Amino acid sequence: MNQQQFENFTASSLYCEKCRVAMPVRERLLLVLPDREIFDYLCTGCGSSVGRREVTAGEKMLAQAMTARTRRAPVSIPLR
């Protein structure tokens, strides 16, 4: 198995019907819609699709906001 395939993992493993065992999966951007993005999970063993995930625009913005919050220093806003 190629180690480079593991670089972009977000989900750890899903059950693959073809391999009949829980396999490490690779996330692939399948479709971009105006309000959401659909990701496909591919089995690293046989390459078949084992699951899907939808990320809505709201979830994406929330994730970006949380990332920005952890990276930036807190900004103090004067009350007067």
Place of tokens 């913005």: 61
Q: How far is the CB of 17 from Zn ion (least distance, A)?
A: 8
Q: In this complex, which beta carbon is closest to Zn ion, that of residue 30 or of residue 49?
A: 49
Q: In this complex, which beta carbon is closest to Zn ion, that of residue 47 or of residue 58?
A: 47
Q: How far is the CB of 23 from Zn ion (least distance, A)?
A: 5
Sites of contact with Zn ion (CB under 5 A):
16, 18-19, 23, 43, 45-46
Q: Taking Cα atoms as reference points, which of 8, 2, 11 lies closest to residue 41?
A: 11
